[in-house]
């Protein structure tokens, strides 16, 4: 199975000059390409595959070389490289979310640390956390998970005066159990969502989200009869993958091309989307197209439900689409694009809270305005 398709990734070297060739390839695409088994799991093969992409030009070669250098440099770095290697190890597991991989990597840092006081351990964790975040600066769930774990560590060291060894082992245990929390979160969200899925309804989904898949799977196992409309999800064709999964469960599926959303909205009863990140305004950042679907649903009075784990809550407050760090990915149009033509390559968009009806999280069913309250409770 694939990792969370809604997880956004970013270019490690943002292209300052957009008019020169293709923007650098983001880690997001590399991960997805690997899970598609398009190339081997060797990172160098990734670079080679990137280099061999058409059109082959000096700019592309330079970008590929930069990517290769960036990939190699973490390995050559001792301590910092350790956390990156650990993160990549966990990231390859199909069931693990990116946030879980990050926390597992931080737990590994604690395990291998030689610090003798909580202060030293905090400093070491802070460095590892910053290194992880800078590795993929545009991944919101990665940043949110690191912040969440650091907050937990800070609270532990301040509020409980345990002996160092006991505290350290408890931190490791907590980090390692985070994977279970993630799986439990999905099940909790699936349970909460059943009240919203009624017999005979039609659900529109967008993007490949394991949480949404879990919701639909549980509804099907409860013998509810419903229909699912999947968007095609260009250029990754995530909708096709989603439709395969749903068809295997015996759920009636209809695939729409992305521009057919408004055409089909009148037969839709509700929209289910996942979230790459939930921001402080109550809005969500998700795969490109989510905002468009939410706008159409809102104008046609269809509810939009967001299924997201609480560890994806991030202290960000975008005001518009351009307010986020851009996350680029290559787009294959099937035919060569003429020279001089610009291509919008953003992988995700921001949906403001007024277009979302409810957030289904492991903390409960929340209105978008409560997200900020939860974040305040957590971080203040």
Partner 1 sequence: MDLRRPTTRSSSGGVEPRYRQVGFVTTTAEPAAAAASSSSSPRGSDVYPGSLSPVMIPPPRIPDHLTALSPAPVSLLPSSPPPPSSSRLDAAESDLDDDDDDDVDVSWARPPPPALLESKEGLPDTQNEGAPAPAPVQQKQKLSKAERRAIQEAQRAAKASAKEAGLSRKSVATVSTSNAAMSKQLKTVKTPPKKDLPQLTPPVASEKKTSEHPPDRDRKKDVPPPRMQFDNVHRVEKTKKHSLVNQAEAQNRVELFRHLPQYVHGTQLPDLESKFFHLDLMHPSVYKVGLQFLSGVISGGNACCVAMLLAFREAIKDYSTPSTKTLNRDLTAKISSYVSFLIECKPLSISMGNAIRFLKNRIAKLLLTLSESEAKASLQSDIDRFINEKIIIADHVIVSHAIAKVRDDDVLLTYASSSVVEMIFDHANELGKKFRVVVVDSRPNNEGQALLHRLVAKGISCTYTHINAISYIMHEVTRVFLGASSILSNGAVYSSVGTAAVAMVAHAFGVPVLVCCEAYKLHERVQLDSICSNELGDPDVISRVPEREDLCHLKNCTYNENLQLLNLKYDTMPSDYVSMIITEYGMLPPTSVPVIVREYRREHIWI
Residues found near partner 1 in the complex (CB under 8 A)? 280-282, 315, 317, 319-320, 322-323, 353, 369, 372-373, 375-377, 379-380
CB nearer partner 1, residue 157 or residue 281: 281
Q: At what angle do helices 43-51 and 58-76 cross, to 10 degrees?
A: 170
Q: Of 113 and 154, which has the nearer Cβ to partner 1?
A: 154
Q: How far is the CB of 262 from partner 1 (least distance, A)?
A: 21
Q: Residue 98 or 374: which CB sits closer to partner 1?
A: 374
How many other CB atoms sit within 10 Å of the CB of residue 217?
18
Q: Which is nearer to partner 1, 221 or 354 (CB)?
A: 354
Q: Are strands 364-366 and 348-351 parallel, antiparallel or unpaired?
A: unpaired
CB-nearer residue toward partner 1: 52 or 354: 354
Q: Considering the complex, what minimum distance in angstroms separates the CB of residue 292 from partner 1?
A: 17
Cα maximum dimension of the chain:
65
Rounded to a whole number of angstroms, the minimum distance from the CB of residue 26 to partner 1 is 22
CB of 197 to partner 1, least distance (A): 28
Residue 36 Cβ vs partner 1, minimum distance, rounded to whole Å: 36
Is 63 within 8 Å of 25 (Cβ atoms)? yes
Q: How far apart are CA 44 and CA 42, in angstroms?
A: 5
- Map residue 173 onto helix, strand or coil: helix
Q: Please, which residue, 38 or 319, has the CB nearer to partner 1?
A: 319
Each as own residue / partner, the long-range contacts of residues 83-88 (CB below 8 Å, 24 or more positions apart, any chain) are 83/108, 83/109, 83/128, 83/131, 83/132, 84/131, 84/132, 84/135, 87/132, 87/135
Give me the least distance between CB of 280 and partner 1, in Å please: 6
CA distance 354 to 19: 35
Closest approach of Cβ 250 to partner 1, in Å?
Answer: 42
d(CA 233, CA 255): 10
Please, which residue, 174 or 315, has the CB nearer to partner 1?
Answer: 315
Nearer to partner 1, 60 or 316 (CB): 316
- For helices 164-193 and 118-135, what crossing angle results, to 10°? 40
Q: DSSP letters along 237-301, please? A: THHHHHHHHHHHTT--EEEE-GGGHHHHGGG-SEEEE--SEE-TTS-EEEETTHHHHHHHHHHTT
d(CA 50, CA 69): 13
Least distance (Å) between residue 315 CB and partner 1:
6
First to last CA, the chain: 38
């Amino acid at each position: 199975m694939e990792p969370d398709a809604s997880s956004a990734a970013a270019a490690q070297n943002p292209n300052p000059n957009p008019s020169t060739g293709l923007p650098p390839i983001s880690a997001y695409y590399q991960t997805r390409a690997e899970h598609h088994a398009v190339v081997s799991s060797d990172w160098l093969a990734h670079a080679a595959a990137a280099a061999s992409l058409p059109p082959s030009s000096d700019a592309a070669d330079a970008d590929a070389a930069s990517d290769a250098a960036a990939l190699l440099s973490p390995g050559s770095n001792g301590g910092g490289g350790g956390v990156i290697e650990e993160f990549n190890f966990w990231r390859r597991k199909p069931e693990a979310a990116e946030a879980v991989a990050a926390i597992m990597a931080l737990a590994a840092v604690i395990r291998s640390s030689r610090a003798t006081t909580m202060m030293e351990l905090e400093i070491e964790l802070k460095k590892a956390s910053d290194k992880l975040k800078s590795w993929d600066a545009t991944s919101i769930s990665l940043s949110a998970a690191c912040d969440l774990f650091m907050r937990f560590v800070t609270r532990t060291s301040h509020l409980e005066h345990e002996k160092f060894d006991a505290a350290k082992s408890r931190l490791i245990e907590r980090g390692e159990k985070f994977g279970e929390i993630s799986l439990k979160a999905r099940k909790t969200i699936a349970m909460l969502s059943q009240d919203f899925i009624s017999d005979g309804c039609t659900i529109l989904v967008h993007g490949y989200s394991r949480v949404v898949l879990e919701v639909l799977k549980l509804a099907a196992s409860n013998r509810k009869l419903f229909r699912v409309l999947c968007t095609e999800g260009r250029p990754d064709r995530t909708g096709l993958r989603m439709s395969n999964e749903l068809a295997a469960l015996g759920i009636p599926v209809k695939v729409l091309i992305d521009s057919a959303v408004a055409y089909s909205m009148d037969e839709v009863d509700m929209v289910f989307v996942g979230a790459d990140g939930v921001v402080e305004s109550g809005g969500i950042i998700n795969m490109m197209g989510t905002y468009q679907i939410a706008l159409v649903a809102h104008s046609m009075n269809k509810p939009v439900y967001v299924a997201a784990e609480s560890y994806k809550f991030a202290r960000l407050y975008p005001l518009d689409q351009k307010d986020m760090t851009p996350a680029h990915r290559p787009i294959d149009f099937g035919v060569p694009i003429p020279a001089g033509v610009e291509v919008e390559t953003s992988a995700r968009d921001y949906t403001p809270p007024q277009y979302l009806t409810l957030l289904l999280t492991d903390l409960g069913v929340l209105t978008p305005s409560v997200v900020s309250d939860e974040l305040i409770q957590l971080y203040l």
